[in-house]
Amino acid sequence: MPSAMGNVIAAGPYRNRIQPPSMIVDAIDAKPGMTVIEIGCGSGLYTVAVAKAILPDGVVYAVDIQERMLDKLRNRMEAEGVENITPILADAEGHIPLDDSVADAIFSVTVLPEIPDPVKTLIQIKRLLTTNGVYADAELLLDPDFPLRRTIIKWAEKAGLVKLRAIGNRFRYVLVFKKK
């Protein structure tokens, strides 16, 4: 997504109703002290919600491929007084510059289908998860790249992840995975 659209999409009047950040907070079972990674954080609507849920000692690594999106995230962090987010400029398709087994949870919201090789990204996600860590992928029918659930599940299985549960309906869903 072009960075100019980051705040428009995240601040839209229906986003909090259609695909609320609480869906992600609940899907990853966010708790204080967790280490969480967001792939494709954009302007930070979901990032900030998760960061608040894991206070006081938790940290969120917010990964995006656009420095302008990370700037929007930094502005949101400042406006909302959130300090437990570390923005990371990286290519989610390639190597994410974090240690193996660092994350209790990883999530992405309408990002995975936009990546040219989603299986390669899911392999990185698997590498970053702790033994009991979870990955949550959220999708929304209004997204032009909306994938069917079975597509995400197939990609995840190829990467060595297994589905734990599904939340939502056919218009919006969150699939939660763990390592095989």
Q: What is the CATH number of the domain that holds 123?
A: 3.40.50.150
pLDDT digits 0-9 by tens, 80-133: 999 999 999 987 566 789 999 999 999 999 999 999 999 999 999 999 999 999
Domain that holds residue 65: 3-179
Nearest 10 degrees: Cα torsion 175, 17, 7, 128: -20
Total of domains in the chain: 1
How many Å apart are CA 70 and CA 27, to the nearest integer? 24
pLDDT score at 92 = 57
> What does residue 101 show for φ and ψ, rounded to 5 degrees?
55, 40
pLDDT band for position 37 (cuts 50, 70, 90)? very high
